[in-house]
Every structure is written in C-alpha cells, then in structure tokens.
Amino acid sequence: MNTFFLCIAIGLCLLMALPLVRCLFGPTVLDRLIGVNAIGSKTVVLLLLIGVLYERVDMFVDIALAYAFLNFVAVIAASRYFHKRKGLYEESFMD
Amino acid sequence: MNILVILCLVIGFLFSLGGAVGIIRMPDFYSRLHPAGKLDTLGIFAMVMGLALYNLTHFSFESLLLSVKMFLIVFFVFMSSPTATHSIVDSGMRAGLRPWTKKKGKE
C-alpha cells in the first residue's frame, strides 16, 4: 500500500509541471495566478500523502489545512490587487 | 477497504490530470478557469476522502479525529476554491479582458 501511495505522490509531482508551464508562459498575469492556485491545491493532497508515508498524519494534517488557507488568502489578495489596473492587459491580448 | 481507497485515489488523480491538461490546452483565460475551478476541487475531494478512509482502517479515537480533520480540509476547499475562481474572474472582467470568440472578419 505504501508503494501505491508513493506512486500517486510522484505522479502528483509530475502533474504539477503542467500548471507550472502555464505559470511561466502565461500571456497575462491572471493566467499565472490560475497556475499558482492549481499547484497549491495539488500540494494539499501531496502533504497528506507525505504524512501517510512517514506515518505522521497527525502533524501533516494541520500543515495541509494551513497551506490550503494560505493558498486561498494569497489568491484572493492578488486578484483584489489587480482589480484597479484597468487596461493593463490590452496589449498582451492576442487580437 | 483497500480497494475503495485505491479507487478513490485513482479517480482523484484522473480528475487532477484532466484539470492540469485543461489548464494547458484551453485557448482563453476564462475557459482556462473552468478546469482550474471545478476539476481540481473534485480531485482534492476524491483523494482526501480516500486518505481519510485509509486512516480509518485501524479504528480508534485518534484516527477518527484525523479523518474529521481531513473532512474539514475538504469542506474548506469546497468553500474556498470557487470563491477564489470567482475573484479571479471578477478581476479579469474589471481589467477589461475580452472573452475569446471565433474571428469572423479574417476568414
């Protein structure tokens, strides 16, 4: 069973590369924000899997909860920050 | 019990894979938010529920408490992930980002 959990964890790590590509080459700032949100939501599951593998779930469950909360606050704060930049993306949008 | 855990984890992994591929392949900012908002939430739900079931294999008070905490993580993600997605969409609309349409003039 531990081998299966390890395989799922490695698969999640490989899966994080796809939103990372969107983070690096996103046309607008908000695309990068989507990528960061997707990576953070996968990290929550990855932390729980690490806790199961190390048999310290009681510690890692709190870390995962704190990480989910921090991810949410970061996305909310960044999107509120970009509220007032009207017309910032006009030149980067492909017509 | 183990078969149920494996099934939950594989289903969650497949949903996460679909979300990641959708974030890469979609043509537009607004359509990219669709896999990012929905599929990731369902993937987290299935995977964390599978881990909570695996945690309940040796039943005791501590493992029950840990499973309840995992369920609280899922509950929080179910509330926070659509809120974050809506906030990103709102920011994009206010910044004047136009949705992607078929270009009829250039044909």
Which residue in A19, A33, A61 is closest to B66 by CB distance? Answer: A61
Complex ipTM above 0.90?
no
Per-residue pLDDT 10s for chain A (95 aa) are 889 889 999 999 998 998 898 888 877 788 888 889 999 989 999 999 999 899 888 889 999 999 999 999 999 998 888 776 655 555 455 44
Instruction: Judge whether B95 is closer than 8 Å to chain A, CB to CB.
Output: yes
Structural domain range at position B77:
2-92
The verdict on residue B100 lying in a domain is no
Interface test with B, best of A34, A59, A60, A67 (most B CBs within 10 A): A34
B2: amino acid identity, one letter: N
pTM over 0.80, yes/no: yes
**CA–CA distance from B38 to each of A57, B17, B23, B42 (Å)?**
27, 12, 11, 6
- Both tokens of A30, joined, read 């908000």
The verdict on residue B61 lying in a domain is yes
- Number of domains chain B contains: 1
